[in-house]
Amino acid sequence: MSDILTQAEIDALISAMVNQDQESDARKAAGANQAPKRIRQYDFRRPDKFSKDQIRTLQMIHENFIRPLQTYFAGRFRTMVQMVVGSVDQNTYAEFIRSISNPSVICPFTMAPLPGTCVLDINPVIAFPMIDRLMGGPGGSMPQTRPLTEIESAVMQGVLRGTLDAYAEAWRNVLDMKMTPGNIETNPMFVQVAAPGEIVITVAVDVRVGEHVGVITLCLPHLTLEPILDKLSAHNWFKTQSREIRPADAAAIQSVVGEAKVPVSAELGRVDLTVGEILELGIGDVVVLDTKLTDPVRVRVGNETKFKGKPGQIRGRVVVEIEGDASKGDDEDA
């Protein structure tokens, strides 16, 4: 077979190349008139177990969490404290463990009645200034990061209990929980509360304590949150926000309101006078009111007529005896 192409073969190759270029240009032109397709990568080995709506609800829960926690830290450490929810992500437990520094202040805790164990991690950058403030110091950082001593661990246990109390309050709109802290660990490899490949929610809270900036991280396994996943939606969240007041809350509100002082006055009657008539009033003049001697006295609480009463005198003091609720007509000009 000859290696030299004939003229007919050369013309056939050129014609095929021209037709291929024309078809490619036509496909590009057709694709330019269509909206670009959004391609999202999905790893079937690690499927997402939390929807975007559930993650948004978790974001709101933790934003409610940092408000009382910020107040608690400021009062406990007697210094300026600022907090903000940095991120709410779903990762594997192995990725969470790799993100923790070694050593660190790691506290496993339970959220009864939910199953499983969660993790609270306080970065040493802010943990040591916290301990220094509680021990009476200025809140300085350690020149070199090291594990906590037994005394420092005991001091941090009190901080962790207060933190989890605020965390339980943030979850109250979803479910009443009892947060129970475990022993403090410093090496993240010793904290194995879930399988390495299990999906977890990691919440990073950026914290400034005085001049020191660090991160408090919470790890919530899917196993723990699975029983309440149906409640982690924006619809249910705002619905539970308007829950009924508990008896203890009602008693507390009543005790506070009961000490409030409001002005109470008795009105014998009314009359409309012009400014000129008021200026002409003198001693001995009589002003005719719009009521009779037999009419009840209007008793006003604040600016509203609430009761009707009868005037009298006891031990030389003018008094009003409450006879009943005021009729609706008595409040028409309140």
Per-residue pLDDT tens for 257-302?
777 888 888 888 888 889 888 888 888 888 888 888 778 888 888 8
Total domains, the chain: 2
> CA 132, CA 116: separation in Å to the nearest integer?
33
Helix (H, G, I), strand (E, B) or coil at 122: strand
The torsion defined by the Cα of 189, 193, 194 and 195, in degrees rounded to 10, comes to 40
Residue after which a domain boundary falls, among 190, 218, 245: 245
* The pLDDT value given to residue 58: 92
In this predicted structure, what is the pLDDT of residue 331? 45
Question: Is the per-residue pLDDT at 235 higher than 70?
Answer: no
257 lies in some domain: no
80 in a structural domain:
yes
Are 313 and 212 part of one and the same domain?
no
The residue-averaged pLDDT of 42-64 equals: 80
Which is more confident, 323 or 171?
Answer: 171
Q: Is the pLDDT of residue 85 over 90?
A: yes
DSSP sequence for 273-321: --HHHHHH--TT-----SS-TTSPEEEEETTEEEEEEEEEEETTEEEEE
199 and 205 in contact (C-beta within 8 Å)? Answer: no
Residue-wise pLDDT tens digits, 23-35: 666 665 655 555 4
- Please indicate whether residue 19 or residue 179 has the higher confidence score (pLDDT): 179
Q: What is the mean pLDDT of residues 149-163?
A: 91
Residues 217 and 272 in one domain: no
Position 109 in a domain: yes
Nearest to 79 by CA among 123, 130, 124: 130
Of 181, 215, 245, which residue sits at a domain end? 245
Question: Of the ranges 44-48, 144-148, 256-260, which is most confident?
Answer: 144-148
Residue 46 lies in a domain: no
Residue 6 has pLDDT above 80, yes or no: no
How much is the average pLDDT of 318-328?
79
Res 239 pLDDT > 60: no
Whether residues 168 and 279 share a domain: the answer is no
Residue 236 lies in a domain: yes
Q: How far apart are the first and last CA of the chain?
A: 115
152/199 same-domain check: yes
Under the banding of pLDDT at 50, 70 and 90, the label for residue 323 is confident
198-202, 228-232, 248-252, 295-299, range with greatest mean pLDDT: 198-202
Q: Do residue 122 and residue 217 come from a single domain? A: yes
| Residue pair 310/321 in contact by the 8 Å Cβ criterion | yes
Provide the pLDDT for residue 107.
94
Mean predicted confidence (pLDDT) in 73-86: 89
Q: Considering only residues 45 and 321, tell me which one the structure prediction assigns the higher pLDDT.
A: 321
Q: Is residue 95 part of a domain?
A: yes
pLDDT, tens only, 161-212: 999 999 999 998 888 999 999 999 999 998 989 998 899 999 999 999 888 8
Which residues are within 8 A (CB) of 122 and not within 5 positions of it... i.e. 6 or more apart? 104, 105, 107, 130, 156, 160, 214, 216
* Domain coverage including residue 301: 264-328
Average pLDDT over the chain reads 82
Same domain as 175, residue 204: yes
Of all residues in the chain, the percent with pLDDT exceeding 90 is 29
Q: pLDDT tier at 333 (50, 70, 90 boundaries)?
A: very low
Proportion of the chain above pLDDT 70, given as a percent: 84
CATH (domain of 83): 3.40.1550.10
Judged against a pLDDT cut of 70, whether residue 153 lies above it is answered with yes
Residue 228 in any domain: the answer is: yes
Q: What is the CB neighbour count within 10 angstroms for residue 155?
A: 16
102 & 197 share domain: yes
Residue 320 lies in a domain: yes
Most confident of 92-96, 259-263, 276-280, 309-313: 92-96
Place of tokens 């037709």: 19
Whether residue 69 has pLDDT greater than 80: yes
- Amino acid 108: pLDDT: 95
Same domain, 200 and 317: no
Same domain, 184 and 288: no
Query: d(Cα 249, Cα 257) in Å, to the nearest integer?
Result: 12
Query: Is the same domain home to 89 and 237?
Result: yes
| 97/196 same-domain check | yes
CATH number of the domain bearing residue 301: 2.30.330.10
Are residues 184 and 119 part of one domain?
yes
